[in-house]
Amino acid sequence: MLSRSLRRPCAFSACEILKVTPTTPKYNFHRTLPRPNVQPTKPTYSKGLAGVIAGESSICTVGTGQGLNYRGYNIMDLVEHATFEEVSYLLIHGHLPNKQELEQYKSKLASYRELSPSIKVILEQLPSTSHPMDVLRTVASVIGSTEPEDVENRTVSGVRNNQWESGDRLIATFGPSLLYWYHFHKSGTRINTVTLPNDTVAENFVKLLQQTKDGQEPDRDMIDAVDKSLVLYAEHDLAASTFATRVTTSTLSDLFSAITTAIGTLRGPLHGGANEAAYHLISRFKNADEAEQSLLKMLESKETIMGFGHRVYKNGDPRSNVVKNLAKNLSSKIGTAYAKNLFDVAERMEQVMMREKKMFTNLDFYAAVVYHLCDIPTDFFTPVFVIARTSGWVAHIIEQRQDNKLMRPTSIYTGPDPQEVRFMKLSER
């Protein structure tokens, strides 16, 4: 039994913080990494779970001193040499696909681009004013209702609607669904969401957005930028949305429920919604000097500057320079004063934040510039992140199921002392 004094509201200082050094995860698929030395200790507390190790994973290294790696492959190699499809396959299946596996994977994704009548009806009935993140969350729910995961056979390969099929279904369908909804409400057009069978997810997305017809080439630099951004966004260990996905999965719930959980969690501006919020901020400034003056005032009044900082990275986000270069190249290729100014404003903000706060841009900051220069509507920025991260979420769902334990932490009670609270009937209150 706890003593009476311990049942009273607990000050944070009275609570011990878990003393573990973040180290490498236990497994990768080839078991090359040592197991972290994590000893379960007394109950501990860390606000926002900062620094807490909440599981083991063989999927990704973030902030371990080894750089950002997916299944052991460095992000720089992946972004330079692999398409999003190769990366998605790597995350979900644990190895890079060979040519045949990649072709099969791409044709499977392509086969899911035709939207079912039930999805179309619902997309048409959603308001034109819906936030696109709500549209994607709804799409995940609709598919989860019309083509539910086969819970009896969820881990059996070859079974329709197993976890791999269900994951692929979502990765392939999110983009076409979003763009069907967009064009229907913008111009009343019911677009054909099927493009060429060999199109990548990025090609399909840009073609449907720009409404280029087969045979008519969309802008290759834009497709390349979107594809690389998908690779960068695909996975990031236990980011809030991935942790949320694993919590839902740990209750033995289905994949679609876990992904709707993730979409809801990603939407907030402290997580995925930061790319949309960062663009709203950047676009407020007419030029770099105005950006500098306004930013200084914002810092003085202790405002949070979207697109800067990170829970895990404290000395820089390895994805940031890649996406900054994409933004720079697109800006100079487009070549207009507007595009150049947008990049200059963003770069000045980066310089001011480094000079004043020693803070660095995270992936979301320059991704916002890239997406804007690709003519992607601002409220589609976080949905594009969803398309990419679904591959990481699915990988984590599969992994969670391989060694599941219900995730159920406890809290430090800070409410009224039950011994001092007496229940009064309604008539007495």
What is the number of residues in the chain? 429
C-alpha distance from residue 44 to each of 19, 20, 40, 252, 409 (Å): 9, 11, 10, 26, 10
Q: Does 308 bind ligand COA (CB under 6 A)?
A: yes
Angle subtended by helix axes 201-210 and 163-187, to nearest 10: 10
Interface segment toward ligand COA; rule CB under 6 A; list 108-116, 172-180, 243-251, 305-313 = 305-313
Residue-wise DSSP of 83-137? -HHHHHHHHHHSS---HHHHHHHHHHHHHT-SPPHHHHHHHHHS-TTS-HHHHHH
Choosing from 304, 325, 404, 414, the residue that interacts with ligand COA (CB under 6 A) is 304
Q: Does 274 bind ligand COA (CB under 6 A)?
A: yes
Nearer to ligand COA, 235 or 364 (CB): 364
Residue 271: CB minimum distance to ligand COA, A:
6
Cα dihedral sign, 305-311-315-320 = negative
Catalytic residue (one of 310, 317, 372, 396): 310
Interface segment toward ligand COA; rule CB under 6 A; list 51-59, 190-198, 205-213, 269-277 = 269-277
Strand partners, 61: 69
Nearer to ligand COA, 162 or 362 (CB): 362
Q: Does 307 bind ligand COA (CB under 6 A)?
A: yes
d(CA 117, CA 104): 25
* 3 state DSSP class of 140: helix
Cα dihedral sign, 167-116-262-281 = positive
Q: Does 63 bind ligand COA (CB under 6 A)?
A: no
Catalytic residue (one of 237, 254, 364, 396): 364
Residues 324-363 vs ligand COA: string with x where CB under 6 A?
Answer: --------------------------------------x-
**74: part of which helix (H) or strand (E)?**
strand 73-74
Choosing from 144, 167, 175, 309, the residue that interacts with ligand COA (CB under 6 A) is 309
Q: Does 48 bind ligand COA (CB under 6 A)?
A: yes
Contact 346, 390 (CB under 8 A): no
Q: Does 151 bind ligand COA (CB under 6 A)?
A: no
Contact 71, 29 (CB under 8 A): yes
- Whether 183 is catalytic: no
Interface segment toward ligand COA; rule CB under 6 A; list 105-113, 176-184, 254-262, 267-275 = 267-275
- Whether 310 is catalytic: yes
Task: Give the residue closest to ligand COA by C-beta.
Answer: 309
Question: Which residues make up the interface to ligand COA (CB under 6 A)?
Answer: 48, 270-271, 274, 304-311, 362, 364
Q: Which residues are catalytic?
A: 310, 364
